[in-house]
Chain A
Amino acid sequence: MVRAVKGSLVTWVEGGLTDRSDPSIKAIILDLDSRSHDFVVEDLDDSHLIIKDTKVPELKRLLEERLNEHTKVDTLEEEEEEEDD
């Protein structure tokens, strides 16, 4: 019998701004999940997970935090413009 599960399908863009040697985003999500955050409903494949609907914003925030540890934002440009304001 077919079953339906409610949730959010989550995908992501690997690499880009992060270094190749960084852990994959899926690894980060699973790591966050294992710390009793209880996000993941179903692990589909390397680039798709089902996440509890209510947990999506929290996961987004935590993931962003984790990724920004690795990415240094170039603020030089904005500082420069600050002077001529």
Chain B
Amino acid sequence: MAATAQSMRGFEHLEGLPEAVFKRLYQQPATALAIFRRMLPNLGKTFVMAMLFNPDPIPISSLEAWVHPNKNSLKEEAFAKLRQLHLVTERQGTFALDPTFKVELKKALTGGGPPGCFGLPCDTDDKKKVDVSFLDKYATEQWESILHFMVGNEVPSSRRPSEGVVRLLLHGKLMEKARSSQETIITQLGFSFLLQEVNSQVWTLLLLYLDMAEQLRMDPVDILHFLFLLGSLELGQDYDMKSLTPTQKGMLEDLRDYGIVYQRKSSSRRFYPTRLATALTSEVRALSSPATTMRNAISQSDENGFLIVETNYRMYAYTNSPLQIAVLNLFARLISRFPNLVTARITRESIRLAINKGITAEQIIDYMTANAHPQLRKNTPILPPTVVDQIRLWQIEGERMKATHGYLFKEFTSNSEFNAVCKYANDIGVLVWADKPKMMLFVSKHEQIADYIRKRVQSNK
């Protein structure tokens, strides 16, 4: 699923962090748990659980014994992840969990840890308590106002995103300043951002925030702790700011702008996480479900599923939302607009334009499926196959050239070395292309391969 891939990319960004940062990240039970839940493949989780309550290091061979010999690639993937996240230390063929991580994950699973390590609920009642539906509405309004702003819709000044949000959008190149005027306009990157599902959008913005915060000399570990903490909070509960660090208190203000947390006023000492926050660290496989809940929760019943697509490429959208109409306009030619209905047509031209803006056919198809009218949902498949196939074909037509970012490895010293690396790259699923006679291979990610080559060289000495 395209959307899952998007948010996974967000996490790959985290994988590139230096070891020292990881060591400090593991000092909080909420973060240890979030990383366990969200960043490890299932087999990796199994390995961690095997090591968690064992005081001694475990021989790698006994971990390997759990894996069917045919599933080598899964095993390598799990091991690579564990090493990459610096979760294990390897000594003489044994694995031991990082001691800090071990302690904190135990705390997270069996209870313990200082009060407030999973958020400190307020001990007094809020006189103006807000309920879940209010929070959902608030989150939607804040988030949509950012999206509206991006597509250049008129928004009432009270709902215009704050300076901080605009700076973030500019920083992430989702928008840019027009050369002629001082207005900010959306970029290609921004367009494909619009078509992502909400959860990935939130992560995209938060990672941009992290990136920008490092330039402002804010401590990235502090920020990540807070983001992972937010993911473990309970929706509808009010929390006390007391347990937060100064950096995190400063962050609250920004997160309020995005609709991730709610505070009645900035001087208030209590804050409520919204659904945008609590869905942050949901498990990868369950990713679509919080997003769907979010979507169901945030869209009023009359907006929920508004698109009808016919086999003749006509589209009827029962909406009067400027945002939805603007999104439709990205990939369809609008024909006429009525008070509650927009008619449009999907043409080769409109799809080609969308693809030139960096939107993929899959994103368009996902968007149409996700917003299909209940009437259309009765069909299986939901969208007319002719239309879906044609959109894909239109994309391929313009993509006779296929480019994969990555690294070329060459000048191997021996055939056996080349073959070993080639096999390893294939096992962990990063091999894109290889040429045996020339002893060259191309991989989509290089860190693990470089590690592997280094280890081979060392063991041969």
Contact = CB atoms under 8 A, between A and B. Distances in A.
B433 interface: yes
Contact of A12 (B335, B401, B453): B401
28 contacts: A2-B410, A2-B413, A4-B407, A4-B408, A5-B409, A7-B406, A7-B407, A9-B403, A9-B404, A9-B408, A9-B433, A9-B442, A10-B404, A12-B401, A13-B400, A17-B400, A25-B401, A44-B435, A44-B438, A51-B403, A63-B400, A63-B401, A64-B398, A67-B400, A73-B348, A78-B347, A78-B349, A85-B335
A42 B438 CA distance: 13
B345 A10 contact: no
A40 interface: no
Interface residues of A, number: 34
A74 B76 CA distance: 50
Contacts of B411: 1-3
Contacts of A17: 397, 400
A49 to B, nearest CB: 10
Contact of A5 (B348, B405, B408, B412): B408
Interface residue tally on B, bucketed by range: 20 to 34
Interface string B439-461: 01010001001100100000000
Contact of B402 (A1, A3, A11, A81): A11
Nearest to A77: B348
Contacts of A16: 400
A8 B450 CA distance: 18
Contact of A4 (B349, B404, B409, B438): B409
Interface of B: 335, 345, 347-349, 397-398, 400-413, 417, 421, 432-433, 435, 438, 440, 442, 446, 449-450, 453
Contacts of A85: 335, 345
Contacts of A1: 411, 413
B345 A81 contact: yes
B400 A42 contact: no
Contacts of B442: 9, 48, 50
Nearest to B347: A78
Contacts of B406: 6-9
Contacts of A64: 398
A18 to B, nearest CB: 8
A45 interface: yes
Contacts of A10: 401-404
Contacts of B432: 9
